[in-house]
């Protein structure tokens, strides 16, 4: 957070302009109780993350339900910043979501937002950890639109649509796109569960993007050996005997 007696630097994030204007008006009404400097507005998670990397932000008022990257995914990426901002979620009334927030001691606002509730939320807002965000994601299950890595103090987003394959190596997973490779610290099994049939398992340590599969062939001189090639790649990825039959059936099903 910022130093004592300095205004709280707040970023407002909501895909609906009236909701952003409402928050601005309510914050203006709170001036006697809480000094706030609105440093920006964003109508989507990608823009919010970009703005948070361009300037110091103490707290983010973050809508949960937004097209594309929702508030929970945005919060997870914001948490990777060297100095993550405090997060206050805003949401239309959802009993299950609110119960999850309460259980995880997460600050949230119900729309339409009231001035006294906003002051209280911002006054006690805190940074969220990964475990808390995972618990909230169980209430709002939605596959991420991006993976992210921290490189030289900046967050680099990897669009899931650009990923060719995910390969587990020791405690890391290599994320391969047409442009380059990234290393992330995530579980391959968790990624498989999250993205469902968008990524197919071809080996115990490798998932490939289904829409990127270009060719499946046999290895010369090995009746049980198979390989797979992806769009724009000459690299052969080995397909295990165990996964080959299931892989062919899944490809035929689409």
Classified as helix, coil or strand, 218 is: strand
pLDDT of amino acid 220: 77
Find the farthest-apart pair of alpha carbons in the chain and give their distance in angstroms, rounded. Answer: 80
CA distance 142 to 133: 12
pLDDT of amino acid 218: 84
CA distance 158 to 165: 12
pLDDT of amino acid 217: 83
CA distance 184 to 194: 15
Q: Per-10-residue mean pLDDT for the chain, 254 residues long?
A: 76 96 94 92 96 96 92 94 92 78 85 91 88 86 93 94 95 95 95 92 94 87 80 90 79 61
pLDDT of amino acid 94: 74
The residue assigned the tokens 């049980």 is 224
Count the neighbouring beta carbons within 10 Å of the beta carbon of residue 153: 9
pLDDT of amino acid 21: 96
Terminal alpha carbon distance of the chain: 49
DSSP strand E in the chain: where?
8-13, 36-42, 59-63, 86-91, 108-110, 146-151, 154-159, 163-169, 172-177, 181-184, 199-203, 206-209, 213-218, 226-230, 237-239
pLDDT of amino acid 12: 98
Contact 78, 49 (CB under 8 A): yes
Classified as helix, coil or strand, 239 is: strand
Handedness of CA 1, 107, 48, 187 (dihedral sign): positive
pLDDT of amino acid 1: 55
Contact 15, 67 (CB under 8 A): yes
Where b means 16+ CB within 10 Å and e means fewer, 201-224 reads bbbeebbbbbebbeebeeeeeeee
Classified as helix, coil or strand, 46 is: helix
pLDDT of amino acid 221: 67
pTM, whole model, 2 decimals?
0.87
**H or E element at residue 168:** strand 163-169
pLDDT of amino acid 254: 56
Instruction: Give the list of residues 6+ apart from residue 241 with CB closer than 8 angstroms, or none.
Output: 224, 225, 226
CA distance 89 to 247: 40
Closest by alpha carbon to 45, among 74, 22, 24, 25?
Answer: 74
pLDDT of amino acid 124: 86
């Amino acid at each position: 957070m910022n130093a004592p007696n300095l205004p709280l630097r707040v970023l407002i994030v909501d895909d609906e302009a009236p909701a952003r204007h409402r928050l601005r008006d309510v914050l203006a009404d709170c001036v006697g109780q809480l000094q706030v400097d609105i440093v920006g507005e964003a109508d989507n998670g990608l823009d919010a993350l970009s703005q948070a990397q361009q300037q110091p932000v103490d707290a983010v008022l973050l809508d949960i339900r937004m097209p594309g990257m929702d508030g929970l995914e945005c919060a997870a990426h914001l948490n990777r910043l060297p100095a993550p901002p405090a997060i206050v979620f805003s949401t239309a009334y959802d009993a299950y979501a609110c119960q999850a927030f309460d259980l995880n001691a997460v600050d949230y606002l119900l729309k339409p937002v009231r001035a006294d509730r906003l002051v209280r939320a911002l006054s006690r807002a805190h940074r969220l950890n990964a475990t808390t965000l995972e618990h909230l994601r169980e209430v709002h299950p939605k596959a991420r639109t991006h993976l992210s890595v921290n490189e030289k103090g900046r967050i680099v987003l990897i669009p899931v649509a650009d990923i060719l394959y995910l390969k587990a190596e020791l405690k890391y997973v290599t994320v391969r796109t047409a442009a380059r490779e990234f290393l992330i610290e995530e579980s391959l099994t968790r990624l498989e569960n999250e993205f469902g049939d968008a990524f197919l398992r071809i080996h115990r340590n490798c998932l490939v993007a289904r829409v990127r599969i270009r060719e499946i062939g046999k290895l010369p001189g090995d009746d049980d050996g198979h390989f797979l090639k992806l769009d724009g790649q000459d690299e052969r990825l080995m397909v295990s005997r165990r996964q080959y039959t299931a892989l062919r059936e899944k490809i035929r099903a689409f």
